[in-house]
Amino acid sequence: MSAQQPKEKSSLDPAPAPPSIHASSTGTGNPPPPDMRKILLAAVIGIVALWAGLKWSSGQSASGSSHECKHGHALTDSAIVRCPVQPDVRNVGGDWNPAASETDRDMAYARLAEAVQIPTESFDDMPMDPTDSRWDIFTTFETYLRQTFPLFHKHLELEHVNTHGLLFTWKGKNSSLKPVIFMAHQDVVPINPTTLDQWTYPPFSAHLDSEGWVWGRGTTDMKSTLIAQLSATEKLLSESFKPERTILYSFGFDEEITGPRGAGHLSQHILKRYGRDGASLILDEGFTGVDKDFGQTFARVGLAEKGLMTVRISISMPGGHASRPPPHTAIGIAGMMFTAMEQNPGPLYLEATNPLIRYLECAAAYGEMDKDTVGLVRCPQCWPQLAGELAAEDVALEAFLRTTHAITVVNGGIKLNALPEHVTSLTNYRIGFFETSQDVLDRLIGAISPIAKAMNMTLDLFGSHANVAQNVIRVETEYPPTEPAPLTPDSGPVWDLMGGTIKHVFPGAVVVPSAMTAFTDTQYYWDLSRHIYRFAPAPMTQLLNFHTVNERIHINAHFSTIRFFYKLINNLQGWQD
C-alpha cells in the first residue's frame, strides 16, 4: 500500500466482518505466418500504483533523486495525454448490501462456501469430450446451483451448450435492446498434492476464519463472482423485478485450460443468435479492481488483455553411455537456448495510445503525485525512461510493458548414466499489447538460430525439416496463438454505465483504464461486442493468492461483488447504449 493515505475515509477502509460471520545451422525454414493483426493496444497496469506508489507516493520520484527528464520538460497541451472523463454516479432503483443484514450475511457465506467445497478442477490433460466421466463433477456443481437458486432457475431459460456450458437467458421486456452478458467460469485450478501441507486450511474447506477470510480454491478465481451474479439475480427475482434488457449469464467450464470446450462453444452459440456486435456490454473476471494509491481510491477497469502463445521446443540427439559424452548434451543445448531466450526479452512499450499513460495522468490529476513524476508522465520524450524505471521496479510492472515468457515445463533424460536422447520444453508467452505472435516468434528464432548453427543442428521450424530425425531442434506452437484483445473504449454510454455503477458502490473512487496480463474466456467473445470489461468489484487487497497456496477472499469482498451486480442490473433500467 501507499505510504500516504487519503485524508477522508473511503469505501476501502477496513471494515470488520459481521459478528455472525466471524463466529463461524542447416535448416533455414521460416514459420508459416499465422493470421495476425497489428493491434495497437494498450494496457493500464492494475497494480502499477500499488507497487510504484510505495516509492512515488512517499514523495520520491519514479527515477529517484534526479533524472534527465525534469518536470520543467512537461508539455502543457492537455491533448497529449488525458484522464478519461469521470462518469456521473448512476443509482437507478433499489440497492442491496448483504452486509447490512445478519441473515443475508450468513446466506451469502453459505452459498459461496458450498460452491467452493465442490472441487471443479480442470486439468491440462482433460479430454475434449465433455461427456467423459472426468467432467462429471460439473454435473454435481450444476445440481448445487439449481438447488440453491430456485427462482433463478424457474424464471430464466437454461441451455446446456456442449454438455457443461451453462447459458441462462433472462428475457427483457424490450427485445429491441441489445443484451448484456455476464461471464464466469465454473472450473478452478487444480491443487498440487505436494502443497497440501502448506495450506493453512484444507483447500476445499471454504473455512471462514475469525478475521473474515474465506479460504479455498476458487474463492477468488472465480466462484465468488459466479455466486454473486446468481445471488443478486435471485434477490431481484424475489422482488418481482423484470429487466427491460435481456441479460445473458454465460458460464464456461474449462477456462483454466484455455476454454475451447466451454466459452469457445458458448460464444459461438450466442453469436449465431445475436450476430456480430450483438451485445451492448460483456463483463468478465479480472485482476483489475479497486485499491488505494497516491492518496486516492482508484477503480481499475480492464479494457485490454494480453495475447497467449505456448511454444514447444524439442531436441533430438543420439544417445549413449554417460562416460563418453559429446561436448554438449541435448540438455546442455536446451540450457543454452533458454539462456539466449531470457537474454532477449523484447522491447518495452509505452506510447501515447497506451492507457497506462492515461491512468498516470488520472493519478496526477486526482492523487498526490510528486512534481518530478508528473513531469515524466507529461513528457513524451521521457516515456522510454519512465518505462524502464517502471519495469525495474518489479516484474509485475514489467509484465504490463512488454511480452513476457516463462519456460514452464522441461523433460529430458531417463537415467543417470545414459545420455538424453530427447528433450522437450514448453514456454508460455503472454503477448504484449503492442506486439503480435509473429513478432514473438521472430524474436525467438533469432535467439536460438545461432545456437543451432554453432552446434551443427538442423533447425526445424514448424515442420520445415520434418524428415530430419537426429541432431535436430524442432520449434512448434502447442495450439494456435491468440493475439492481444481489441481495446475497449474508455468513453461513451457503456463506459458511463460501468463507471457510474462503480462510483455508486465505491464512493469517491476514480474510474481509470487498466488491463489484464493474464488470460480470460473473453478471447472467444470479441465478435460479440466492442465493450468487453474485465473487473473485480472488490478491493484487490481482499482477493489473495490466485492460483496458489492459501487462495482466499475476504467476505466483505464477496458482499461488495453481490451489491455491484444487484446495482448494475438495476442501472440497466432506462439506459441506452
Model pLDDT, residue 6: 34
Is the same domain home to 311 and 249? no
Distance of CA 192 to the CA centre of its chain: 21
Q: Are residues 465 and 517 in the same domain?
A: no
Asked if 444 and 329 sit in the same domain, the reply is yes
Q: Are residues 419 and 531 in the same domain?
A: no
Q: Three-class SS string for 161-185?
A: ECCCEEEEEECCCCCCCCCEEEEEE
Indicate if 53 and 175 belong to the same structural domain: yes
Q: Is the Cβ–Cβ distance between 214 and 559 less than 8 Å? A: no
CATH of the domain at 114: 3.40.630.10
Residue whose C-alpha is closest to residue 432's, from 286, 523, 306? 306
Query: Active site residue: 187, 254, 389, 521, which one?
Result: 187
The 10 Å Cβ neighbour count of residue 346 is 17
Q: Which residue has the cell 543420439?
A: 318
Are 19 and 31 in a shared domain?
yes
The verdict on 459 and 366 lying in the same domain is no
Task: Specify the CATH number for the domain of residue 455.
Answer: 3.30.70.360
CA distance 59 to 374: 12
Distance, CA of 388 to CA of 411 (rounded, Å) = 35
User: Are 392 and 473 contained in the same domain?
Assistant: no
Instruction: Say yes or no: 339 and 370 in one domain.
Output: no
Question: What Rg do the C-alpha atoms of the chain give, in angstroms?
Answer: 25
Residue type, 342: E
Q: Could you tell me how far CA 478 lies from the centroid of its own chain?
A: 21
Residues 87 and 186 in one domain: yes
Task: State the residue for C-alpha cell 471462514.
Answer: 208
490 assigned ligand-binding residue: no
Whether residue 221 is annotated as binding a ligand: the answer is yes
Query: What's the confidence (pLDDT) of residue 400?
Result: 86
In the annotation, is 239 catalytic?
A: no
- Amino acid 437 reads S
- Count of structural domains, the chain: 2
pLDDT tens by residue, 93-107 = 999 999 999 999 999
Q: Is 48 exposed, middle or buried (0-12, 13-18, 19+ CB in 10 A)?
A: buried
pLDDT for res 287:
86
Q: Indicate if 301 and 311 belong to the same structural domain.
A: no
187 is catalytic: yes
Q: By residue range, what is the domain housing residue 325? A: 307-346+403-432+437-477
Which one is catalytic: 234, 255, 305, 435? 255
Distance of CA 170 to the CA centre of its chain: 27
293 is in an annotated binding site: no
How far is 45 from 517, CA to CA, in rounded Å?
A: 8
| Together in a domain, 418 and 376 | no
At a CB cut-off of 8 Å and minimum separation 6, what does 504 contact?
89, 90, 91, 95, 567, 571
Across the beta sheet with 552-554, the strand order is 207-208, 213-215, 552-554, 543-544
pLDDT in tens, the chain (577 residues): 333 333 333 444 434 444 344 433 333 333 333 333 333 333 333 434 333 343 343 333 444 434 456 544 555 444 467 899 999 999 999 999 999 999 999 999 999 999 999 999 999 999 999 999 999 999 999 999 999 999 999 999 999 999 999 999 999 999 999 999 999 999 999 999 999 999 999 999 999 999 999 999 999 999 999 999 999 999 999 999 999 999 999 999 999 999 999 999 999 999 999 999 999 999 999 889 999 989 999 999 999 999 999 999 999 999 999 999 999 999 999 999 999 999 999 999 988 767 778 888 999 999 999 999 899 999 989 999 999 998 998 888 898 899 999 999 999 999 999 999 999 999 999 999 999 999 999 999 999 999 999 999 999 999 999 999 999 999 999 989 999 999 999 999 999 999 999 999 999 999 999 999 888 999 999 999 999 999 999 999 999 999 999 999 999 999 999 999 999 999 999 999 9
| 3-state DSSP of 392-441 | HHCHHHHCCCCCEEEEEEEEECCCCCECCCEEEEEEEEEECCCCCHHHHH
